[in-house]
Structure 1
Amino acid sequence: MHTLTDPHLLNDVAEIGRIEAVPRILETVAHITGSRFTAIARVTETTWTACATLDTLGFGLVPGGQLVLETTICDEIRQSSTSVVFARASTHPLYSKHHTPRIYGLESYASVPIHRPDGRFFGTLCAIDSSPGNFDEAHVRRSMELLAELVGNYLDKEDRLQEAETALSDAQRDSDLRDQFIAVLGHDLRSPLQAISVAADALEDEATSARQQQMLAHIASGVNRMDGLINDVLDFARGRLGGGIPISLRESDTLQADLERVAAEVAIATGREDIDVQMRIEGSVVCDPGRLSQLLANLLTNAVQHGERSLPVTLRVHAASNRLTLDVHNAGCIAPDRLSTIFNPFSREKGELPRPGLGLGIYIASEIAKSHGGILDVVSSESAGTVFTFRMPSADVA
């Protein structure tokens, strides 16, 4: 007998060892055959390895113990997938002359193949004794084949559990990488940006020439733009990888003023004085005012950039009866083949001229809508233009 060292075979032994039903299966085999040694063996082209044993015979083989493959009958079973059962080797027409009973001093023997459900051969379920067996060979063969099928099904279950554990481990690793990615964006990129901003503020008092002041203004503009890009990518990472954009719900009495201020800021930033604002919010609204302001800023900026500049952009907001509706309309038209992907991140039309931003604005707006339990949709046509509509039901303060 040899000592097991192969890691793959050690894994096979451990796999059988995790099956709680195996001891009872070996007891059942011992009961129906009268054998004092029963085992489940892993049989390969080169090895015979005990994975589980029940030994009152004193055979001396424990899990992990090995026999020389050529001294067993199991290699023949592996090649033929045929069970071998006999109650008395000494009078058997074939096995009275076989080397295995002679080598191990066996009289009764029963061994059946174990296959996984996909047909792959694993090994054998076997029973041996040095005394003749008092059993019906056909009955024992059928009973042990059913038990071997049960072992094969348990092995399939173990494989699935291992796959699930691996998937869970991979998911945890992905979650850790996600957190690291967000940390890099949130800290490692923003920290040097803050340093640039502080340095620019310090130099502002020392700027004496118009050129120096102009350069500092460019630096401040670049810092603000970079900060906006980092915020967009952070929101993308949270929405795409972290289970949604986080919001902080509260009862807001100032939402109308917040949204009106956003509309005014977009008008100033884009030079559009024709943004028509029609807004009526009755009472308080449970929401994240900052995130809804971000949603509106993204929609208005998109409408200004992509709409027909000779025609106004219209904003309509109404909140009453536990619902909030927000419409942004421009005179532009979205091609029909783009409507299905308009809410995807980095969505830009082929051949479109370069524009500021990463193409994340509409995606982030839709994620903010989802985080509020609402929906953002769009309709577009040549005759009616494009309307983005955000609808949000009432919510309880978290």
Structure 2
Amino acid sequence: MTRPEFALDVEAISAIPAVPVILSMVKHLTGMRFAAIARVTERHWVACAVDDSINFGLKPGGELVLETTICHEIRQHQQPVVFGHASADPQFATHHTPLTYGLESYISIPIVLPDDRFFGTLCAIDSVPADLSDPAIVKTLTLFAQLIAMSLDTQGHLESARAELTDANEHGRLREQFMAVLGHDLRTPLSAIRMSADLLATKTEDKRSLGLVSAIRQSSIRMGALIENVLDFARGRMGGGIPVKRHITDDLSDVLKATVDEIRASHPQASLIESIHLGGNVYCDPLRISQLLSNLLGNAVTHGSPTSPIHLHIWQECDQVIISVMNRGTPISPRLLPLLFEPFTRSEAGGRGEGLGLGLYIASQIATAHDGILTVSSSAELGTCFIARFPAVPPA
């Protein structure tokens, strides 16, 4: 019975497809009738694989007393040991190992892993002499031992990869639970808060109370936007992009005008100058394009100059829809421009740093999902300008 602490080693060797062929080749090259791969530690000698034609009696998992083996010495000096006729060899004629096991021929090659850890030996024995004088025998067995070591190392990396994959699957399950919490357990009570605020607004005329109700409503709207952004971020990272449902629509102008009105209502202090000219049908997901515009306008309100208007232009050109949002304010450093469309990095660009830094990332992902692109330029003379472009017609 294999000791539990060596079960993985025996399993690892048995999992190497080349091992039976290697042991057969060792017997063929040396002319000996027993070949094995042994795991050798400070206290144990354990057979991991065996090719036995002399009924030596060892099976995978079987042990020899470490001190009775030459592998105990090989573990210390990590050099091959070879003799072809023990009884005629001055060094091994009186050695305890050939005397104990009745051996005449013996060869053992150390197996050293790529990180210099000693694993064990590749060995062959027989009770009759063998001609081991050809240097090619030791060289070939050394290559076999290196092949075994590399295979064990590869298996170790594969096991680590499997463990990481298991962890990743577990993390994926936790992310799905996290999305479920966001999607239901948070949005549902938040909707109740907003409806309660609307109801309270109809039941009181006290200015102070109305001010508190308005603050509750605005906070719940902002919390809802944050939750939706995090949900979209999670969906995008888990599913390879933010999902969109594109179709032919003839009312995109109305949808985007309604988005502008919502921004005005939620940010009465902001000045918006818009020009929206879309003619005919557009192939898109109107709700996602509305979200893209809302994120760009929200970003302009948050990070632009409060004393300068935000300029919005939306038009069609060469079968493309173009959305341009420009605001004045402190220009963004050229070093930070490439980071703007990465998640959680917006606050690094200065400004007041509100939100999670997901708005521009999500806007960029929506543009990409529409086979389009979102770009940015920023200078003291021209201001900061975000331009989104995407095809207005379905792909051919």
TM-score (norm 2): 0.89
Q: Across the two proteins, how many residue pairs are aligned to each other?
A: 392
* Farther off after superposition, 196-205 or 150-159: 196-205
Structure 1 distance, partners of 2:258, 2:201, is 28
Is this contact kept in 2: 1:86–1:110, CA < 8 A? yes
Aligned to 2:124: 127
- Which stretches in structure 1 are left out of the alignment for 5+ residues? none
Q: Which residue of 1 aligns with 2:180?
A: 183
Name the Cα RMSD after superposition.
2.7
Report if aligned partners of 1:295, 1:364 keep a CA contact under 8 Å in 2.
Answer: yes
Instruction: For residue 112 of structure 1, give the secondary structure of its aligned residue in structure 2.
Output: strand
Q: Is the 8 A contact 1:277 1:315 kept in 2?
A: yes
Contact 1:295–1:368 (CA under 8 A) maintained in structure 2: yes
Give deviations 1:123-179, integer Å, cap 9, x for gaps: 111111112224435332222112212212222222222222222222212212211
Specify the alignment match of 2:386 in structure 1. Answer: 388
Q: In 2, Cα distance between the equivalents of 1:67 and 1:303?
A: 77
- SS of the residue corresponding to residue 332 of structure 1 reads coil
User: What pairs up with 1:324-343 in 2 under 5 angstroms?
Assistant: 324-336=321-333, 337-343=335-341
1:300 maps to which residue? Answer: 297
* Distance in 1 separating the partners of 2:133 and 2:167: 51
For the residue of structure 2 that corresponds to 1:159, the secondary structure is helix
User: CA 1:142–1:156 in structure 2 vs 1: closer, same or farther (change >3 Å)?
Assistant: same
In structure 2, the residue matched to 1:373 is 371
Q: Is the 8 A contact 2:83 2:132 kept in 1?
A: no
Distance (whole Å) between structure 2 residues aligned to residue 275 and residue 58 of structure 1: 92
Taking the aligned partners of 1:379 and 1:106, their CA distance within structure 2 comes to: 82
Give 2:92's aligned amino acid: Y
Question: In the alignment, which of 146, 161, 164 is matched to residue 164 of structure 1?
Answer: 161
Is residue 96 of structure 1 aligned with residue 93 of structure 2? yes
Q: In percent, how many aligned pairs have the same letter?
A: 46
Q: Structure 1 stretches (4+) deviating beyond 6 angstroms?
A: 201-205
Determine the C-alpha separation between the residues in 1 that align with 2:301 and 2:45. Answer: 75
In structure 2, the CA distance between the partners of 1:47 and 1:41, relative to structure 1 (3 Å rule), is: same
1:264-320, Cα deviation, whole Å (9 max, x unpaired): 322333226852222332432222111110111111122233333443321112224
Instruction: Measure how far apart 1:220 and its partner are.
Output: 4.2
Of stretches 14-23 and 164-173 in structure 1, the one that deviates more from structure 2 is 164-173
**Structure 2 residue identity aligned to 1:360:** L
* SS at 2:32 equivalent: coil
Aligned CA distance change for structure 1 residues 367 and 216 (closer, same or farther; 3 Å): same
Mapped to 1, the partners of 2:3 and 2:207 lie a distance apart of 77
Structure 2 unaligned segments of length 5 or more: list them. Answer: none
Hey, what's the Cα distance between the residues in 2 that align with 1:93 and 1:252?
Answer: 96
Secondary structure of 1:156's partner? Answer: helix
Cα distance in structure 2, aligned partners of 1:70 and 1:292 = 77
Looking at structure 1, the residues matched to 201 and 268 of structure 2 have their Cα atoms a distance apart, in angstroms, of 26
Distance in 2, Cα, partners of 1:83 & 1:264: 83
In structure 2, the residue matched to 1:40 is 37
Q: Secondary structure at the match of 1:122?
A: strand
Distance 1:315 1:199, change over 3 A: closer
1:284 alignment partner AA: N
Counterpart of 1:64 in structure 2 is 61
TM-score normalised by the chain length of structure 1:
0.88
* Aligned twin of 2:248: 251
